[in-house]
Structure 1
Amino acid sequence: MSEKTVLTFDKTALTAPVDRAAARAEAQEALAAEGGGVTARSFASRTWFVGVGTAVGMALIAAAAVLVLIMIMRLATGHGVALPFAVLAWAVLALPYAYRRIARIAPQLRDADDRWYRLRRFAPANGLTHALREADPQRRAAVFEAAEGPQLDDPVTASRPRPLEVANLSFHIGGGRARMDIAIAYARFTVRTALPALGIQSVTARGGAAWRPQAPQAVIAVDDEFDRRFRVSCAPEDAATVRALLGADTRSALVDVCGDADVQVVGDEVWFFARQDLRLQDPVVWEWVEDLSALLDRTLDPRPEASARSDQDAARALRRRKVLRGAGAGRPFVLGCLVPLLLAAIVVVIGAMTG
């Protein structure tokens, strides 16, 4: 991290070639030292188990879907479907997903090795500290109060020019059939300015926010245009202060830098949440962290010693939006689910017609 008064990272380690053998060896050593009982073998076994288990589960769902299609055809036409056509319909529906899911397992393991390899070099080059994971983290943000079984993956921390922490957070809420697994990412900054407790949640981002406003906080109106992008909540007695804090410049900066992220102020901490986990070895993530720090320097926590930096780089803003918005469903859902289902239905129809 640069000694300049504006937060800037040296991202060379995030783009340099990876020595695969060294990455594998370092991952094994890191898991043995910091894995909390998770070894390289158990990590790989769990990854394979989850991948294969998901593929098998999809195969069972595909079998049930084919049976439903056959029943519909029997009711509609009075004809059954020969076994070869039923098997072919199942294969068309199940095998593409199963192949993609299993084929991703080895790249997932390599990606973990590469991530740790890069972050272990990126962190010391910038005066940061990196840990593999932290089980049951205790933090002040509201999401940690409701999270069950929380775990931080790859927490990266710094103490200057302002204290910060960047990590992926995984947890679940509910239990049994109602259990929901959630993975998000956050950047937390410690500020010197006394700020009221407040939440700023994106209205336009995919998925739901990681927390809900808790009493006595309630949603307030700030500005018509801003309210179409964000939902602001605070205690009623802080409403006037929050509206004054979120002036035109601050609102514009939040829209530019946090359009698909959520913000929470708790004590002397400002939290920025992405609604999905992020690839922390991606340089764009650290560009976002730089932009968040610059946003604080200009608005919520002005630092006279901070040098000005423009975040109006259009290419940088586009990269940031893509990372924060995530892949989404859209075309992958159509190609991965609806098209195979349509093909399976066609096979069932042909089987019924030739039966």
Structure 2
Amino acid sequence: MDTPQSPTRAFPFDARPLTDPVDPAALAAYRRSVRTTRTWGDVAKTVGAVLVFAFVGVMFLIVAVVMVGVIVSAGGGSSFGLSAFVPVLLILAVGGVIALLVVLRHRQGIRQYRLATFAAANGMTYVPEVKDPPLPGMIFDLGRGRIAKSLVRGTAPRFVEFANYQYTTGSGKEAQTHEWGYIAIRLDVPLPNIVLDSLANNGFLGSNLPARYDRHQRLSLEGDFDRRFALYCPVGYERDALYLFTPDIMARFLDHAAAFDVEIVDDWLFLYAQRQEVSTVDPAVWARMFATVGAVIDKLAQWARWRDERLAASGVASGAAASAPGAPGVPVAPPGFLPAGVAAPTPMPGASRWAPPPGVAAPGRRLKRSFSWGALIFGVVVIVWVFGNFFGGVIGALFSH
């Protein structure tokens, strides 16, 4: 849907590190370099794995001894002859567990090595994991055990991060791990909170997103866009959403990002994929990711000109708003999160002192969320059905007597 006057910029990449044979010496060197950067958290994981392994070995030994006792008591043989098999079984079990751990560790090491070399070959960096990533998207403040894995980051032409993410909700038997893949793109200026809910990945109960938004915030757009995305923007920011999502930008999202849910919040653009890995060793997946990012960021420069007129009415100078930490509408990234050279948003060159500052007024910073009535109705129907069957069976049994 791109016109000849605005072709999609090509973002070629070198996928050979994902498929080329792994040099054992280079892999060993990478493992040594990773080992030197291990944290106390890594040490705790290792100690935990050793304790689990010891517990499994002890339990296996106890089960083997009990089985020998049962067989002997049943007259199946002498205790001395059967007990000789206990150490053999224990050795086989220990050897099998060790072999499995070695294979899994080797595969994980190869995966990390491939992603690290792939990132380096394409001018990016690789980070194995980040706990509680300080990002403002809707999925990053939910549950517990929040962790981003296999992060691949680039800074040219703008900061982009590909990663897999998970968090846990509930407890005990009700605990559930939620898995997402995401792409985070840094914008030039903060923008209103806008969500594009892809209709292609919704389920029986509606949106697959972890957040629900008030219906009166949905903005209908023309053409195929409404049949592929549900767009939500804060009340009063409808004109701003139309300014940002011009027909050419909508065409880019339809052609390249229709499988993703999209969120704009502060000075970030997020593309979410539920239960899908974004950072992987599959070259075909990376080809799609690079094509998607290339098509989207090719049009983001025009968003840098957007300004919120509501801030101009407050009489706040653009220079003061952009330079003061924590100024309205200007988010401050946590220290150490962004790589060197990735700065916070700054005013556009030539902006007058009393022009609207980069930022978003309070009403536009976050969408208003709503309750999921569909999930509630479904839950009530299930409960009624279960209790109906139970009491129906009880009543039927009473009358049968």
TM-score scaled by length of structure 2: 0.52
Kept in 2: contact 1:35–1:133 (CA 8 A): no
1:282 aligns with 2:278: no
**Between Structure 1 and Structure 2, how many residues are aligned?**
247
RMSD of equivalent CA atoms: 3.6
Distance 1:261 1:14, change over 3 A: same
1:184 aligns with 2:180: yes
Q: 2:257 aligns to what? A: 258
Whole-Å Cα distance in 1 between the matches of residues 238 and 132 of structure 2?
34
Instruction: From the CA coordinates, give the structure whose radius of gyration is larger.
Output: 2
Whole-Å Cα distance in 2 between the matches of residues 223 and 43 of structure 1?
58
Q: Secondary structure at the match of 1:143?
A: coil
In structure 2, what residue type is equivalent to 1:142? M
Kept in 2: contact 1:28–1:39 (CA 8 A): no
Q: Secondary structure at the match of 1:212?
A: coil
Q: 1:18 aligns to what? A: 22
In structure 2, what residue type is equivalent to 1:10? D
Whole-Å Cα distance in 1 between the matches of residues 287 and 48 of structure 2?
31
Q: CA deviation at 1:30?
A: 2.3
Kept in 2: contact 1:153–1:168 (CA 8 A): yes
Q: CA deviation at 1:200?
A: 0.8
Q: Secondary structure at the match of 1:237?
A: coil
Q: 1:37 aligns to what? A: 41
Superposed structure 1 runs of 4+ greater than 4 Å apart? 43-46, 104-110, 213-217
Q: CA deviation at 1:269?
A: 1.2
Q: CA deviation at 1:108?
A: 5.4
Structure 2 unmatched ranges of 5 or more = 1-8, 57-99, 305-401
Whole-Å Cα distance in 1 between the matches of residues 113 and 181 of structure 2?
20
Q: CA deviation at 1:198?
A: 0.3
Question: 1:271-295, CA deviations, whole angstroms, 9 ceiling, x for partnerless residues?
Answer: 1112122352222333233223322
Q: CA deviation at 1:136?
A: 1.9
Which structure has more relative contact order (CA 8 Å, sep 6+)? It is 1
Whole-Å Cα distance in 2 between the matches of residues 243 and 105 of structure 1?
54
Structure 1 unmatched ranges of 5 or more = 53-103, 305-355
In structure 1, what residue type is equivalent to 2:175? R
Q: Secondary structure at the match of 2:221?
A: coil
Distance 1:187 1:15, change over 3 A: same
Distance 1:107 1:179, change over 3 A: same
The range that moved more, 26-35 or 164-173, is 26-35
Question: 1:124-157, CA deviations, whole angstroms, 9 ceiling, x for partnerless residues?
Answer: 2222221111112211112112242211111122
Counterparts in 2 of 1:190-205, with a 5 A limit?
190-192=186-188, 195-205=191-201
Whole-Å Cα distance in 1 between the matches of residues 173 and 199 of structure 2?
28
Whole-Å Cα distance in 1 between the matches of residues 245 and 30 of structure 2?
46
Kept in 2: contact 1:201–1:230 (CA 8 A): yes
Whole-Å Cα distance in 1 between the matches of residues 188 and 223 of structure 2?
30
The range that moved more, 29-38 or 115-124, is 29-38
Kept in 1: contact 2:190–2:265 (CA 8 A): no
Q: 1:239 aligns to what? A: 238
Whole-Å Cα distance in 2 between the matches of residues 120 and 245 of structure 1?
35
Whole-Å Cα distance in 2 between the matches of residues 263 and 273 of structure 1?
6
The percent of aligned pairs where both chains have the same amino acid is: 25
The range that moved more, 250-259 or 221-230, is 221-230
Q: CA deviation at 1:194?
A: 5.4
Q: CA deviation at 1:170?
A: 1.1
Whole-Å Cα distance in 2 between the matches of residues 294 and 202 of structure 1?
19
TM-score scaled by length of structure 1: 0.59
Kept in 1: contact 2:151–2:279 (CA 8 A): no
Question: 1:139-189, CA deviations, whole angstroms, 9 ceiling, x for partnerless residues?
Answer: 111211224221111112222211111111111123333322011111111
Whole-Å Cα distance in 2 between the matches of residues 273 and 236 of structure 1?
24
Distance 1:217 1:190, change over 3 A: farther
Distance 1:217 1:187, change over 3 A: farther
Give 1:9's match in structure 2, choosing from 9, 13, 28.
13
Distance 1:21 1:184, change over 3 A: farther
Q: 1:221 aligns to what? A: 220
Q: 1:129 aligns to what? A: 125
Q: CA deviation at 1:302?
A: 4.3
Counterparts in 2 of 1:70-85, with a 5 A limit?
none
Kept in 1: contact 2:10–2:291 (CA 8 A): no
Whole-Å Cα distance in 1 between the matches of residues 286 and 216 of structure 2?
31
In structure 2, what residue type is equivalent to 1:158? G
Q: CA deviation at 1:28?
A: 6.7
Distance 1:238 1:120, change over 3 A: same
Distance 1:44 1:195, change over 3 A: same
Distance 1:26 1:252, change over 3 A: same
Counterparts in 2 of 1:73-222, with a 5 A limit?
109-192=105-188, 195-205=191-201, 209-213=208-212, 218-222=217-221
Kept in 2: contact 1:27–1:113 (CA 8 A): yes
Q: Secondary structure at the match of 1:192?
A: strand
Kept in 1: contact 2:129–2:148 (CA 8 A): yes
Kept in 2: contact 1:32–1:39 (CA 8 A): no
Q: CA deviation at 1:206?
A: 6.1
Kept in 2: contact 1:130–1:154 (CA 8 A): yes
Q: Secondary structure at the match of 1:254?
A: helix
Q: CA deviation at 1:110?
A: 4.5
Whole-Å Cα distance in 1 between the matches of residues 303 and 198 of structure 2?
26
